[in-house]
Amino acid sequence: MQTKISTMMSGVLLVLLSVLSVQAYAIPEIQRWQTDNGARVMYVHVNGLPMMDARVVFDAGSARDGELSGMAALTNGLLAEGAGGQSAQLLAEQFESVGAQLENDSLRDMAIVGVRSLTDRAYLDKALKTLSTVLSQPDFNQKEFERELARMKVAVTARKQSPSSIADEAFYRAVYGDHPYAAPTGGTEASLEKLTLDAIRGFYQKYYVAKNALIVIVGAVDRPQAEAIANQLSAGLAQGEKAAPIPEVAPLAEKKVVRIQYPSKQVHIYMGQPGMKRGDDDYFDLYMANHPFGGSGFASRLVKTIREDRGLAYSVYSYFHPMREAGPFMMGMQTRADQADQAVGLLKAELEKYIKEGPEDDELADSISNVVGSFPLNLDSNGKLMGYLAMMGFYDMPDDYLQTFVDQIGSVTPADARKAMAQRIKADRLVTVIVGDIAGEATEDKKAETPEE
């Protein structure tokens, strides 16, 4: 059996072999340039399918919301609800009559607007013209503003019937405190009440500008076409300015426990703290440290301990979510309410042990071989390439990120992983969020720690 052999091999040899086999694979060639008004462009030519994706990413996520959380999401959501004097219906018909698919989304860091289209000239032209209108001439009418705001309010209400949403919101509040990452991207009841159309317009004018934009193009269009597309999408944008940096995330000064009573059959448990940024010096060490711990699914320690050995949970995991500033390190699981304390104890004990001892040599070798070996899987479609390019461009990753990825992963040693984890994660300063039917159990932390809403 291939693996029996591989586990007998030393980690180094295994890694070397994997690296060799992957480097035979051609990394897509990324071309970069800037439009005249300062939008950055990334482009990869992919032949084969008569389709292309164009995505514009603005540094205009909810980290820019200030006091008005939900503003970034509503601004993004309103773009296609009326633009250039054309109704939402007309805009949607223009995309859909040529089979084009509009995408838009607003995260904590990124605001995304894009389209997937066939490359047949007539179809593509119509899709891009409509996208350009949506990007650069949104009408922000009162009627659409009120309707979409009302829909967001229903979404906020719906979060209250989901214990995982409640837990997620509480976790970010507890980990991020006063930092802009603390608030939910969809806003809160209170913040949505304060949103105005003027604020939305101001947000758009400040952040949906060329110098704050990254345009990514992937698909069966050639370089001159890609240049024309980039120009077309950026031409209507004001030049503007790149958004100012957001504040750094302060480390937690002490542990926090948040318990929220909710009449669900399971308790949802999240534990963690600020983790790392994109481009963090320890990125690869931390990524690989987490992988065998809780990032590798069925092969991970957490799944073995919590699910396989004890049957306590269906889903248990840990991850670093790198963002512009330190995104969270999080461990998560759900279990029957009467097993909550056991589960929290196990998660904490596993983390403490792991910080102290780090990964076993074999564990890390298997993880490296998984991450290196699966690297081509991450680039095997236009959709996935788009995701990678947008991430690399938005977070200013070096041009050779993909070329060096395998070497970077392969060079992490067990000592590196242990050291990085021990320096970054402080088990005595964790945020622990427990949402579920925990009434009657110790609630002394609750009053002090339940986030204000």
Question: Please, which of residues 150-169 interact with other proteins by CB under 8 A?
Answer: 150-151, 153-155, 157-158, 160-163
Minimum separation from the CB atom of position 179 to other proteins (A): 28
Q: Which two tokens stand for residue 308?
A: 């396989």
Contact 119, 52 (CB under 8 A): yes
Site for other proteins in 205-234 (CB under 8 A): none
From the list 61-69, 128-136, 188-196, 332-340, the region that binds other proteins by CB under 8 A is: 332-340
Q: Which is nearer to other proteins, 264 or 408 (CB)?
A: 264
Give the residue, chosen from 75, 273, 370, 432, that forms a contact with other proteins under the rule CB under 8 A: 370
Contacts of 245 (CB under 8 A, 6+ apart): none
Q: What is the footprint of other proteins within residues 8-47 (CB under 8 A)? A: 18, 21-22, 24-25
Say if residues 104 and 76 touch (Cβ distance below 8 Å): yes
> Exactly one of 10, 31, 101, 443 binds other proteins (CB under 8 A); which one?
101
Applying CB under 8 A, among 109, 139, 168, 366 the residue interacting with other proteins is: 366
The Cα 290–Cα 284 span in angstroms is 10
- Closest CB 266 distance from other proteins, rounded Å: 5
Segment near other proteins (CB under 8 A); pick from 31-39, 191-199, 222-230, 331-339: 331-339
Q: Which positions from 414 through 443 interact with other proteins, judged by CB under 8 A?
A: 437, 439-440
Nearer to other proteins, 62 or 367 (CB): 367
Which of 306, 358, 353 lies closest to 333 in space, CA to CA?
Answer: 306
Residue 66 or 84: the one with the smaller Cβ distance to other proteins is: 84
Residue from 336, 419, 429, 446 in contact with other proteins (CB under 8 A)? 336
> Based on the number of CB atoms within 10 Å of its own CB, is 215 exposed (0-12), middle (13-18) or buried (19 or more)?
buried
Whichever of 342 and 413 has its CB closer to other proteins, that residue is 342
Among the listed ranges 55-63, 133-141, 235-243, 370-378, the one in contact with other proteins (CB under 8 A) is 370-378
- For the record, the structure tokens of 253 come out as 């000064």
CB of 281: closest distance to other proteins in angstroms?
Answer: 26
Segment contacting other proteins by CB under 8 A, of 57-65, 99-107, 350-358, 409-417: 99-107
**Binding-site member from 290, 296, 305, 432 for other proteins (CB under 8 A):** 296
Piece of the chain touching other proteins by CB under 8 A; list 1-9, 36-44, 205-213, 421-429:
1-9
The one segment of 148-156, 246-254, 392-400, 441-449 that binds other proteins by CB under 8 A: 148-156
How does strand 111-118 pair with strand 213-219? unpaired
Nearer to other proteins, 175 or 343 (CB): 343
Binding mask 102-121 for other proteins (x = CB under 8 A): x-------------xxx---
Binding mask 55-84 for other proteins (x = CB under 8 A): -------------------------x----
Residues 297-316 that bind other proteins (CB under 8 A): 297-299, 304, 307-315
Q: Give the nearest distance from C-beta 45 to other proteins in angstroms.
A: 13
Residue from 31, 32, 67, 97 that binds other proteins (CB under 8 A)? 97
By the rule CB under 8 A, 7 interacts with other proteins: yes
Q: CA neighbours within 13 Å on the CB side: how many for 451?
A: 24
340 and 257 Cβ atoms separated by less than 8 Å = no
Interface residue with other proteins, options 10, 20, 32, 89 (CB under 8 A): 89
Binding to other proteins, residues 228-287 (CB under 8 A): 261-266
Shortest Cβ distance from residue 446 to other proteins (Å)? Answer: 14
